[in-house]
């Protein structure tokens, strides 16, 4: 069982054999390795062009704002179909019907924008009540921001209108009683 064509002796070590270089021949000089970065630069420019084109294609959406006609007479709303949302920077309150009746009955609820228990849930409950008498489309929501409410706070309330498919809603000013209620809750 011989694998090699020459005999292996105990003195021969093939793996560690060092052949002496003949004199007069110098060792080869090692040159530094040069890497061509042209493909990497091309890839970088392609990525930059891609990200620029995709960000310019996604334009911000604009919410449509319909302003009422310049009528002097106020719009009449049935109190059974009215839901009011009071918006502030930290607090959101909701009540059904008229302020005085809701306050007397303890119907002013503190809420937030939580998906399960927030304003959207209150809107859906009101829609179910109105759906029982086939008046779901007649739900009117009054959004009343406090003067310290930010644009984002108002937009969060408007987003709830779109998410819950509310057709009739408006932004109104707080009454003096509602404003005093807010200020008392802040302290």
**What is the CATH number for 88?**
3.30.420
Helix or strand holding residue 46 (H, E): helix 38-57
| Residue 52 binned pLDDT confidence (cut-offs 50, 70, 90) | confident
pLDDT at res. 46:
93
In this structure, is residue 114 part of a structural domain?
A: yes
Residue 54 counted as domain residue = no
Structural domain includes residue 63: no
Domain count, the chain: 1
How many whole angstroms separate alpha carbon 93 and alpha carbon 102? Answer: 12
Beta bridge mates, 83: 96, 141
pLDDT for 51 equals 87
Residue 82 vs residue 78, higher pLDDT: 82
Q: What is the mean pLDDT of residues 126-144?
A: 85
This prediction has a pTM of: 0.62
Q: What is the largest CA-CA distance in the chain?
A: 117
Per-residue pLDDT tens digits for 59-76: 777 767 666 677 777 777
pLDDT of residue 26: 64
Q: Is position 53 within any domain?
A: no
Beta bridge partners of 143: 85, 171
The reply to whether 103 falls in a domain is: yes
Domain assignment present for residue 45? The answer is no
* 175 in a structural domain: yes
Higher pLDDT, 139 or 137: 139
* DSSP label of 82: E
Closest by Cα among 66, 65, 69, 49 to 57: 49
Amino acid 2: pLDDT: 53
- Please give the residue range of the domain that contains residue 103: 80-186
Contact predicate 182/153, CB 8 Å: no
Residue 69 maps to a domain: no
d(CA 162, CA 167): 8
Query: At 161, is the secondary structure helix, strand, or coil?
Result: helix
Whole-number Å distance between alpha carbons of 59 and 183: 39
Query: What is the percentage of the chain residues whose pLDDT exceeds 90?
Result: 11
In terms of C-beta distances under 8 Å and separation of at least 24 residues, what long-range contacts does 100-109 make, across chains too? Answer: 100/177, 103/177, 103/181, 108/181
- 177 Cβ contact partners less than 8 Å away, ≥ 6 residues apart: 99, 100, 103
């Amino acid at each position: 069982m011989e694998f090699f064509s020459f005999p292996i002796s105990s003195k021969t070590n093939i793996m560690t054999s060092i052949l002496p270089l003949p004199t007069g021949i110098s060792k080869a000089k090692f040159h530094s390795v040069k890497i061509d970065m042209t493909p990497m630069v091309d890839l970088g420019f392609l990525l930059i062009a891609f990200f620029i084109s995709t960000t310019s294609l996604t334009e911000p959406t604009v919410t449509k704002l319909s302003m009422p006609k310049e009528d002097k007479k106020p719009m009449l709303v049935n109190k059974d179909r009215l839901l009011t949302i009071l918006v502030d920077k930290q607090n959101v309150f909701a009540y059904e019907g008229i302020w005085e009746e809701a306050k007397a009955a303890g119907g002013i609820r503190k809420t937030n924008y939580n998906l399960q228990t927030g304003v959207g849930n209150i809107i859906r409950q009101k829609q179910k009540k109105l759906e029982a008498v086939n008046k779901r489309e007649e739900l009117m929501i009054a959004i009343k921001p406090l003067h310290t409410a930010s644009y984002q706070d108002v937009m969060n309330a408007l987003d709830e209108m779109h998410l819950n498919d509310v057709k009739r809603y408006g932004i109104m000013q707080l009454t003096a009683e509602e404003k005093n209620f807010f200020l008392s809750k802040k302290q």
